[in-house]
Each structure stands twice: as C-alpha cells, then as structure tokens.
Chain A
Amino acid sequence: MKALFWKEWRENILWAVLAALCVAGAMFYGLRSDPERSGYGIDSTWQGLLSPQLLLVSTFGFPLIGAGLGFLQILTELRRDQWAFLVHRPITRNTIFWGKALPGLLLYILATAVPYFVVAWWASRPGSLPAPFDWRMTEAGMMDLLTGSGFYFAALWTGIAPGRWFGPRLLPLVAACYGAVLSKGYQSFDGALEIALVTLLALIPASWNAFQTFGAFQRENPAARAATVLALLLATAMLSSWVQAGWALVFPRKPHAYTQYMVTNQGELVQVTQLSSSFSKVRTLDGRDVMPDGKRTFAWDDFLSANSVNLSLRQDRYPRPYRRIDRFFQQIHGNVQDVSWYFLQKNLQFVSYDKLSKRLTGHLGPKGFAPAGEAGQAGHFAMDSYRLRYQNFMGLFTTEEALYHPRFIRNEIQEVYRPPVGVPLLGGDRIYTRLMEWDKLGDFVSATPQVLQAHQADGTVLWTFPQPENLGQFSSVAVSRLADASRYFLLYQPDYNKLDRQPPLFFELSAEGSVRNRRELPTTPRQPRRLTAQTIKNACLTPFGQTLWQQVVYATRSALTDATYTPVWNLKPNVRRHTLTVWGISLSTGILCAAACLPLLRSSFFSPRERIAWSAFLILYGLAGVAVFFLVNRWPTRASCPSCGQMRSREFKRCPRCQAEWPAPARDGTEIFEADASPGAS
C-alpha cells in the first residue's frame, strides 16, 4: 500500500499543484476589486466566498478536478498490459483500490481545498473585502468539495468499467452530477449534506466494486451491488430530469395564470389575471371586461401601487439557502458612494465598510451610529427570522418594537413609530405613490393587532382603522391611495395557499379614515388540482419506492424533531385522495415493469432469491428500475444452438433445451498432438 501510495502521489502531484494554482488564480481573479464595476448588481465581490464568480469556480472547477484526477489515475495505466502488470502483483484488489483512492483524495484536497481555504483565510482578514465575513460562508465551498469528490470516485469507476464511452460507462459521472445538482438545490446545509453523503455512499462502494470485478456487476458482494444499483438509480433520475427538461423545451407548457385584486388609478377595484407577467384579463367585480383607454393592454402604471404590511405574528424559522449571501447579511440598495452598508443578521444591526480601505467603519442600530468596534453602542434590533425574511430594506425598517427610517448617507436612523407598551407591532410600510422620493420619509402605515394607522412623516396620525375581527385569517394588508389622497384602499389577503378558500376583504376609506365601502371578495381560483396527462406522466415516471422513502423520511423527521412535515396521512381528505391516486398509478407502473421483465427473470441467469429481489426492486422503481436492471446485469452473448437451432447463451456448456454441448473445433487432419498415435510415415 505504501509503495502504491508513493507511486500515485509522485505520478500526479504535478497535476494537482497545477490545478491548485488554477483554482487559486481563478478565485483571486473573481474577487479582485474593480472600481469600474462598482455598484449594486454589477460588482458582486462583496459577497466574498458566496459571490457568483467563486461559486462558479467551485461548482464546476472542483468536479472537473475530481473527475480529471480519477481519469488520470486510471486511464494512463489502463493500457491492457500495464494494467495486467499492476493487478498481477501479489496484493488484493482492495489494496490496489485504496492505494489509488487515498493518494487521489489527498491530491484532490491539495488541488481544491487548500486553495479554497487560502482564499477563505484571505477573505476573512480585515481589509481584504469591503464586506463582513462569516466562516459559515465556507459551507457552500465545502459542499462543492464533497460533491467534487463524488466525481473523483465516479471517474475511477467510469475509467475502469468496460463499455462504450457514450453509453453506460458514463453513468457514474451522471450519478455524481445528480448528487451535486440536488445538494446545490437544497435549502439547508444539513439537507444538502445528507444528499451529498448518500451519493458518496453509493459511489465509493460502487467504484470499489468496479475494482474488484473489473467493472462487472458480480454476484458476490451484496453491499457493493446495492451501492451500484443506488448509484445507477441516481443516474437514471438525472437522465430522466434531462429528458423532461428537453421535452419542456421542445413542447413548452402553457404559462401559469395568476389572478389577484388591484385598484385602478381611477379607484375602481378589478380582478386582474396575469399570464406570463402580462395582464391577460381585467374584470370588474360584476364580471365586465375592462379595456384601458387608448391602449391595447393594461400596464402596471394603470394601477395604484400598493404596499404589503405584515399582519402575522408567526414565529416560524425560515432558514435561507446555504449558498446565498442573504443568510448572513444583505447589502442595502442605493449605497452611498464610498461606503457600503449591510444588514448583518448575526448582530441584527447595519454595518458600513469603506470601499477604499475595505475596512469596517461603523455600526447603525436602534440607538444610532457607532464607530467600528463599538457595536454595543449602536444597539441591536429586535427581530425574528420571519420578519427578517419579509423585511423590505427599501421601505421602512420594521422590528418587533418600532418602525425605523434609516438614512445611511448621514449615518442616522430615526424611530418613526412605536406602539404603546405591551402592544406588538405587526408591520408597517410607506404608502407608495408614483412620484415618491425614496430618501424622504413620506406618509406610512403601521399595523398592530388592534388597529391599522396611517401617519404623516412627522408622526401625525392621518386616520385609525380598527382591524377586522377575523384578522388571524389574513397574512397581509395592501394599502394604496389615490394620487390626490382623497381615498384609501385596504385589501386584506390570506396566505397564498388559502387563496381559493379564504375570501379577501376590501375596504375603501375616505381621507379621514371613515369606511365608504366594505366588501368580502370572491376567492380567486388556483390551478385546478386534478388528474391531467401531465400528472399521470409524472406519476408514471416517479418511482413508487422514492415516494415511499420520502414518506418514511418525513414521518421519521416529524417524530424526531419539532419541524412541520406533511406525510400523506396528515393531509386533508381531497389532497390525500389525489396523492393516493398518484401513488396508485406509480405502483401500477412498477407492477407492469416487473411483469414485463418476468420472462428474463425466469431465465437461468437468476437464482430464486435474485428473482424475488429484482421483482421487488422493479415494483418499487418502475421505469428507472427497468433501466438499472438492464444496465447492471451482464447479459451474455447468445448464439443459435447448432443442435436445436434455438438461441442460447455462450456461457453455458450445455444447451438448456436440448442439453447438447457446443461442438469442439472441427479437425481437418493437420492437428499434431503428442498423445495421438504416431503416423507410420517413412
């Protein structure tokens, strides 16, 4: 093992160092500060380790390096005699595998993790980037390192597996790709870690098995075979996604229609249906279609701008995606010239960085501005994660205690409203108008469980409106007003998933706040939940085993944690009926697949135990299972039996039908064997 380790290390160290230099170079280049590119949305270097450039390097670079190292270790030695020279040595295949994989992994770490953490260390030092730094920002890179190592093992497997390059030989790489895509799409780091580990747990034993059997799926190691099957299932899932994505490209779906209530500039309440972000239908409440004056279609500026004031007292935790910077801090739009402002979630306060020196210059909290290092002096805002999720940094800053108006250009913050002691503040926002000046505080609204109030900038109350009795059924209220401020409109709206059940509530108020009109509006339709061709297709393609597994995971998590998951037996009857129908289709597809493969299963390649195992697998994994079934089993070449004419496997000595053996090579009298009687030639 030591000698093999040394050999692999010596052979590939130069490549690893070269890759490390490339990674470090690309990352430092991505993080270079370019004054020409400064400005929000253009220069993203402030995002540091989570900037798109760095994520691009780690997302694509690490898998490429992993796969490259794996191929280098195998393909350079795979010329048949050199490989034979290697494996004929008196060592086990296990030793050969780990003799390659361990130095390979170390080289992979050298080529990827070392430069990544050097860059992370550099970014963490004050004066490197004009933005805060949190070591948890490395989680995205660590995930890329982990999924990249999956590509390394996939390349070992692909390299050694017999077969054609454009065929099943590439499937291990596809499986690694699926693991990487899935873990990147996951919101929480823990969930992504689970996916990455499952992929690795499939790919490591499968590539190990490929070394033991030279790429053949053999029957002696059940654990490795299970890993191979799992890896190939991941690969087929990825292929299926690609096929579906391709299908959607060729036959795009009809765009989703979305219906909501809006108020026109003339103060008329209408029901607006949007299709692909354009207004396809605008109707009055009595069902009359409305057309805009002198225009073909409506535009956003035909309607009053409405804010959205939170009304919920929910305390749910909303973990932000682990690969997004707003999990740690958010850049404030409209930053001042030489200073960048951020809202730092860890400290619950604003912080400023000088763009030139790239150092922290101050903190802004409820108590005002404090110079760098005096975070306590500025104070911390009282906020829960739900409120933070829906915080609108462009409007007023809403906390649990008060509404604030920060003025970053002057390093100031103004408390504009604080409810009476003991009354929680639900939310608040500006009242938007077309010609609003963003830097100046205009009229705004505040919401408590008892009242909704409109205020002027100096704090004078314009009107007070008592909240409806069924306030708990609404999640937000949209407040808008006519340009001359003669009328106000309040639209109480339920959660998105209750839109088809809970009717919204509409009030029209005078300038003094008296109710001129109150209406309970009809519910807006959601997409019909019924069995369409699309649903049936999805049900056929989704393996029953996968659905079952998800339910088991949900149920286990529900039992172990206080998080809310929704196993099917907790769903409402109509949803449960729909879900169970989808499951039925999925299960029927599995049974049909197993039945279709039955003739093959009954052939002599499979032992009775294997027949049962494969049948169960095919029922659980349906069409994907059929693909894996054909991929992993080594189907022997067949030829017609010289005796009975039926096709038979070349691997068996006797024909299963007529019991005849394969004929020996024909002799033509020129054969010379020592055992033969010596001819009497003279």
Chain B
Amino acid sequence: MSTYVIETEGLTRTFGKHCAVHDLNLRVPKGCIFGFLGRNGAGKSTTIRMVLGLVKPTRGVARVLGRDSSALQPEDRARIGYLPEGHHVYGWMTVEECGRFQASFYPRWNPDIFHAVLSHFRLDRKNKAGNLSRGQRAGLCLALVLAPEPEVLILDDPALGLDPVARRSLIQSMLYVTRRSDRTILFSSHLLSDVERVADEIAVLDRGVLRASCRLETFRRRVRQFTFRYQGDGPPLPPLPGLLQSFRTEGELSLTLANLDAETEAALRALKVEAFEEVPLSLEDAFISYVGERGEKSFFTRDLEGAKS
C-alpha cells in the first residue's frame, strides 16, 4: 500500500466556466498532520468533498486509503472521520441522543472517547444540541467524529466562526485528543496561526491552484522580506523572479520574495540604496504575504496632499 493516505492526480473541478480546483496533485503521508491552507474560495472545501467522493471531479482522480474516492464503500467511510464546516447537528436532539444516533452507524464506536471529549468541552449530555454555543457545538461534532476511531480525520475549517480564544483552544485540544501515531489528519483553514503549532506539513491553495506543498519550516525559510532605505525617489526595481509583493513609501522599499536564489540576491544587493536589511517574518505574516494580493504598491504622503489641494 502507498505511504500516502490521500493522493490526488490532476484533480480538477469546474462549475460552469469557473475553475474551482485546477490540476491538483496533492499527497498526504500517513501519520502526518497536514494543514490545508488558502483564502476563502480558494477551493479547499471543494477539494475535500472530491477527496471524500461527495463531489464528482470534472477530471482527475482522488484516492483515500488507496481507494478511488468515487468508489468509497461504507466500510471505507467508517475509517474516515469527516468534520464539515458549520458544525451541523440536529438541534432537536440532546447531546446524548446525538451520540446514540451517530453510534448506530459505526461498528467501532468507542463511547469512552465520546464521553471524554464531551467532558473536555464540559458539555451537559442532557442539553439540546440546538442550545449549545458555537464552541460547544464544535466540541460535540468533534466527539461525534472521534468516537468511531477513524484512521484518517478530515476536518474542514473546524474553528470557523469561533472567537480567537475559542479557536486556539479548540485546535489545541482537538489535536491533543486526536494525535495518534497511526492517524492522519488533514485539516483546512484560511489562517496559518491555526496550524503553525501543530502541522507537520502544509499545502497552500490559491484560486484553485496548488502554490505550495512542503514542511512548515521549508515554507518559513523560503518566504523572505527585505527593507531598503534610500534618499529621493529611490532606485527603479528590476524584474525579480519570485517577487510576491513590493511596497514603496517615502525613502523605503519593502520586498517580499519566495524562493530567493543567489542571482536574485545579487540583483538586490546591486540596488543603490543607503541601507538594506532582512525583516524577520512570522509564519502568519509569511502566509499572508504569500496568498495576499501580489504586485507593486506604494503610499506617498505627497499624493494625499495633492488630493487635498
């Protein structure tokens, strides 16, 4: 069997003329926590649905646990836990009833895990699911997904709609209770801060196209930012391969680049500037620069004055 639990080859999905996912080749190794990142509308949820066989790809294939997604059998689905975004529960059921309902579908339902997660999130079993807060509902959904002890866990933006504290708490506790050496976790998010503490590898999807798939450290190492200070109008910017963003203000030019090589670095050093320094980037800053708007931007106070007069 392949060492990859999830594999896609040329996976493409179009909706009318809009291409939601374009020629995606993704590999998620076994036992890894895989962060699937991208802005809203980047194609993360569509990819996950194609991987689970819930949406038919326009072309290309997806495989989970070595089986084609379009031919997943109930016993395969029992090995795959899926937490969709939105944390839907049947509001008229109590927490306990939700558990009983879900347990009836799974041959390997572990009530201890279910109750442990409920306790972790301090959920009252007699509460109606419809009366739970967003965070509690997320906890209940997590309990429902974890109790069948799946081999692969696919979480579609599990912390969506939660406040930052609840978000971090949920992610951390979720990974605390789900981490197991033989369990693979793929979870999507549009914020790197959600995944940076826990993910082994990440993939970044931008407008349906896979732009990065690497270890976290690799990503951090490859996205870099430099600041140049100068007098007057500053030097003209030569064409730079891997340029993500440039931001020019009076006397300062900030450049964010990916995959900086020796040649580009030489071109940067050749710029006639007074000072040149590399700005350390947090992983989140790097990610935002990476998936943010690309190209050159500028901001000059004289433009504002001109606009006022």
How far, in angstroms, from A662 to B56 measured CA to CA in the complex?
A: 19
Residue of B nearest to A95 (CB): B74
How far is the CB of A444 from the nearest CB of chain B, in Å?
Answer: 74
CB pair A669–B258 under 8 Å, yes or no, is yes
B6-22 interface bits toward A, Cβ cutoff 8 Å, 1 = contact, 0 = none: 00001010101100001
Q: A665 and B22: CB pair below 8 A?
A: yes
* Listed stretches B77-85, B165-173, B177-185; interface member: B77-85
**Within the complex, what minimum Cβ distance (angstroms) separates B66 from chain A?**
17
If A680-B262, A681-B224 touch, does A665 touch B209 (CB 8 Å cutoff)? yes
Stretch at the interface among A332-340, A429-437, A604-612, A645-653: A645-653
Task: Tell me the chain A residues, 609-655 only, with Cβ under 8 Å from chain B.
Answer: 636-637, 639, 650-653
Task: Give the chain A neighbours of B58 by CB distance below 8 A.
Answer: 636-637, 650-651
Q: How far is the CB of B46 from chain A (nearest CB, A)?
A: 10
Contact A671 B211 (CB under 8 A): yes
Question: Could you tell me the distance between the alpha carbons of A653 and B10 in the complex, rounded to whole angstroms?
Answer: 9
A3 contacts B219, CB within 8 Å? no
Structural contact, A669 and B74, CB atoms closer than 8 A: no
Residues on A with beta carbons closer than 8 Å to the beta carbon of B54: 84, 87-88
Of the stretches B100-108, B121-129, B131-139, the one at the interface is B100-108
Q: Mark B31-74, 1 if CB is under 8 A from A, else 0.
A: 00000000000000000010010101011000000000000001
Q: How many residues of B contact A (CB 8 A)?
A: 60
* CB–CB A11/B92 < 8 A: yes
Query: Contact mask B92-112 → A, CB, 8 Å, 1/0?
Result: 100000001110111100000
- Cβ contacts under 8 Å, A673 to chain B: 212-214
Is the pair B88, A674 in contact by a Cβ cutoff of 8 Å? no
Chain B positions within 8 Å of A676 at CB level = 259
Most buried by A among B80, B84, B201: B84
B222 contacts which chain A residues (CB < 8 A)? 672, 679, 681
Tell me whether A529 is interfacial, beta carbon within 8 Å: no
Tell me the residues in window 216-256 of chain B with beta carbons closer than 8 Å to chain A beta carbons: 218-219, 221-224, 241-244
Are B84 and A85 within 8 A (Cβ)?
yes
Check: B156 CB closer than 8 A to any chain A CB: yes
Q: A670 to B210, alpha carbons, bound, how many Å? A: 11
By secondary structure, the A interface counts as loop
Min CB distance B53 to A, Å, is: 9
Using known A-B contacts A81-B86, A88-B77, A672-B222, determine if residue A3 contacts B259 with beta carbons closer than 8 Å: no
B173 to chain A minimum Cβ distance, whole angstroms, is: 21
| Contact call A651/B59, Cβ cutoff below 8 A | yes
Which residues in chain A, 66-112, are within 8 Å of chain B measured between CB atoms? 79, 81-82, 84-85, 87-92
B114 interface residue per 8 A CB criterion: no
Residue A682 lies at the interface, judged by CB distance under 8 Å to chain B: yes
Docked Cα-Cα span, A24 to B86, in Å, equals: 40
Q: How far is the CB of A571 from chain B (nearest CB, A)?
A: 52
Choose from B14, B75, B82 the contact partner of A85 (Cβ within 8 Å): B82
Q: What residues on B are CB-neighbors of A89 within 8 Å?
A: 74, 77, 102, 105
* A7 interface residue per 8 A CB criterion: yes
B contact residues around A216 at 8 Å (CB): 56
Alpha-carbon separation in the docked complex, A662 to B19 (Å):
13
Query: Does any Cβ of A come within 8 Å of B265's Cβ?
Result: yes
Does A664 lie at the interface of the complex (its beta carbon under 8 Å from any beta carbon of B)?
yes
**In the bound complex, CA of A88 to CA of B79 (Å):** 11
Q: Is the CB of A2 closer than 8 A to any CB of chain B?
A: yes
Task: Kindly name the residue among A82, A88, A92, A680 whose own CB sees the greatest number of chain B CB atoms within 10 A.
Answer: A88
| Chain B: CB-nearest residue to A671 | B211
**Of A3, A82, A664, A669, which one neighbours B101 at CB under 8 angstroms?**
A3
Contact call B105/A84, Cβ cutoff below 8 A:
no
A672 with B259, Cβ < 8 A, contacts A82-B88, A90-B74, A665-B23 known: yes
| A682, B262: Cα distance in complex, Å | 8
CB-CB under 8 A from B204, the residues of chain A are: 672
Partner of B213, one of A639, A665, A674: A674
- With beta carbons under 8 angstroms apart, the residue of A81, A92, A639, A670 that contacts B156 is A81
Knowing A90-B75, A650-B59, say if A681 contacts B265 (CB, 8 Å): yes
Check if B88 sits within 8 Å of A85, measured CB to CB: yes
Quote the shortest CB–CB distance from A640 to chain B (angstroms). 12
Q: A680 to chain B: which residues have CB within 8 Å?
A: 261-262
> Do A91 and B262 have beta carbons less than 8 Å apart?
no
Q: Is A10 an interface residue (CB 8 A)?
A: yes
B201 to chain A, nearest CB (A): 8
Of all chain B residues, the one with the shortest Cβ separation from A93 is: B74
Report the bound CA distance from A90 to B75 in whole Å: 6
Q: B105 near A91 (CB under 8 angstroms)?
A: yes
A91 CA to B259 CA in the complex, in Å? 47
Contact A652 B105, beta carbon cutoff 8 Å: no
- Residues of chain B contacted by A639 (CB below 8 angstroms): 17
Q: Complex Cα distance A676/B213, Å?
A: 10
Q: Which residue of A637, A669, A671 contacts B17 across the interface (Cβ within 8 Å)?
A: A637
- Judging by beta carbons under 8 Å apart, are A88 and B101 in contact? no
What CA separation (Å) do A2 and B214 show in the bound complex? 45
Contact between A7 and B77 (Cβ–Cβ < 8 Å)? no
Query: Given A91-B74, A669-B259, A681-B265, is A637 in contact with B14 using a C-beta cutoff of 8 Å?
Result: yes
Q: How far does the alpha carbon of A3 sit from the alpha carbon of B97 in the complex, in Å?
A: 10
Which chain B residues border A674 with CB–CB below 8 Å?
A: 201, 213-215, 218
What is the minimal beta-carbon distance from A441 to any residue of chain B, in angstroms?
Answer: 72
Check: B260 CB closer than 8 A to any chain A CB.
Answer: yes
Q: A138 vs B86: C-alpha distance in the bound complex, in angstroms?
A: 48
Measured CB to CB, the nearest residue on chain B to A86 is B88
Given contacts A81-B86, A84-B54, A637-B17, contact A672 B258 (CB under 8 A): yes
**Which residue of A is nearest B294, CB measured?**
A670
> Which residues of A, 177-229, contact B by the 8 Å Cβ criterion?
216
Query: CA separation between A81 and B242, bound complex, in Å?
Result: 37
B56 touches A82 (CB 8 A): no
Residues of A within 8 A of B259 (CB): 669-672, 676, 679
User: Which residues from chain B sit less than 8 Å from chain A, CB to CB?
Assistant: 10, 12, 14, 16-17, 22-23, 49, 52, 54, 56, 58-59, 74-75, 77-78, 80, 82, 84-86, 88, 90, 92, 100-102, 104-107, 156, 201, 204, 209-215, 218-219, 221-224, 241-244, 258-262, 265, 290, 294
Q: List, sorted by A's number, 29 A–B pairs whose CB atoms are closer than 8 Å.
A: A3-B104, A6-B101, A79-B86, A79-B88, A89-B105, A90-B78, A637-B16, A637-B17, A651-B58, A652-B59, A653-B59, A662-B23, A662-B59, A669-B259, A670-B258, A670-B290, A670-B294, A671-B211, A671-B212, A672-B214, A672-B259, A673-B212, A679-B261, A680-B261, A681-B221, A681-B222, A681-B261, A682-B262, A682-B265
| 18 further interface pairs, Cβ-Cβ under 8 Å (given A7-B90, A672-B259) | A3-B101, A6-B101, A10-B92, A81-B85, A81-B86, A81-B156, A88-B82, A90-B74, A90-B105, A90-B107, A650-B12, A665-B23, A670-B242, A672-B223, A673-B212, A674-B215, A678-B218, A680-B261
Q: What residues of chain A have their CB less than 8 Å away from a CB belonging to chain B?
A: 2-3, 6-7, 10-11, 79, 81-82, 84-85, 87-92, 216, 636-637, 639, 650-653, 662, 664-665, 669-674, 676, 678-682
